[in-house]
Structure 1
């Protein structure tokens, strides 16, 4: 499901409680998931960074967002308490977790080892 929201990054799909396991855990390539909320200013700040990363790394990485307010099951499953939280999944497992907005260069550095 793709839904427009205030913190939505252009070119980044939105996943839900219903399709998370298929779209993220079952993905063939690494997936960077942003746990976000419409009311979250740092999430809006991170949106253009995620859009740029999704575009630049589209062959090696999928970037998706999940709205914590309407998807409580997945949010609770991964213990997300602050927004934005970014979790990088590879082969169905979370391999890196980051909290807070960050510049694109720093984000790419933090996830580089998972993209090899």
Structure 2
């Protein structure tokens, strides 16, 4: 006699409420960052490696309070013309794992698809822009 297969796990009301709350947090994050380009596992390499200039990527989780603060600081940087992407680590798990993202937020600077620097400083636009400008000066391609 074969054992019965386990019954499928049904989402509980608590699970459904949690998913709805997470979606509201994602929507709020997107509303906070209209100038940041959302990327995922499928298009990260094309967006980053395909750009010959400096690309800044914020790795975040929608529920993370400090991520919202960092995103608010990155928004004026992106609006001023810098290429700034945002990657939701809970949806793009392969890319987050590839860069060993273990805490949020994480701000990384790439050039020609290569990781060049990791930001670890105040969550203020002026500090982030200064950090990007310092790194970009040393990364310019010869003309």
TM-score range, shorter chain: 0.7 to 0.9
Bigger Cα Rg? 2
In the TM superposition, residue 99 of structure 1 has moved relative to its aligned partner by: 4.3
In the TM superposition, residue 112 of structure 1 has moved relative to its aligned partner by: 1.2
- Higher helix proportion: 2
Secondary structure of the equivalent of 2:135? helix
8 Å CA contact 1:6, 1:39 repeated in 2 = no
Task: Report the counterpart of residue 104 of structure 1 in structure 2.
Answer: 125
Secondary structure of the equivalent of 1:6? helix
Report the number of matched residues: 110
Cα–Cα, structure 1 residues 17 and 100, in superposed 2: closer, same or farther, change >3 Å?
A: farther
In the TM superposition, residue 100 of structure 1 has moved relative to its aligned partner by: 6.7
Question: Hey, what's the Cα distance between the residues in 1 that align with 2:94 and 2:122?
Answer: 23
Question: Hey, what's the Cα distance between the residues in 2 that align with 1:32 and 1:71?
Answer: 17
| TM-score, length-scaled by structure 1 | 0.86
Higher relative contact order (CA 8 A, sep 6+): 1
Task: Report the counterpart of residue 42 of structure 1 in structure 2.
Answer: 66
Match of 1:27 among 28, 51, 69: 51
Question: Hey, what's the Cα distance between the residues in 1 that align with 2:126 and 2:118?
Answer: 16
Match of 1:66 among 75, 81, 87: 87
Cα–Cα, structure 1 residues 86 and 98, in superposed 2: closer, same or farther, change >3 Å?
A: same
Question: Hey, what's the Cα distance between the residues in 2 that align with 1:80 and 1:20?
Answer: 15
| TM-score, length-scaled by structure 2 | 0.71
Q: Give unpaired runs (5+ residues) of structure 2.
A: 1-25, 138-143
Moved over 6 A (4+): none
Match of 2:41 among 12, 17, 41: 17
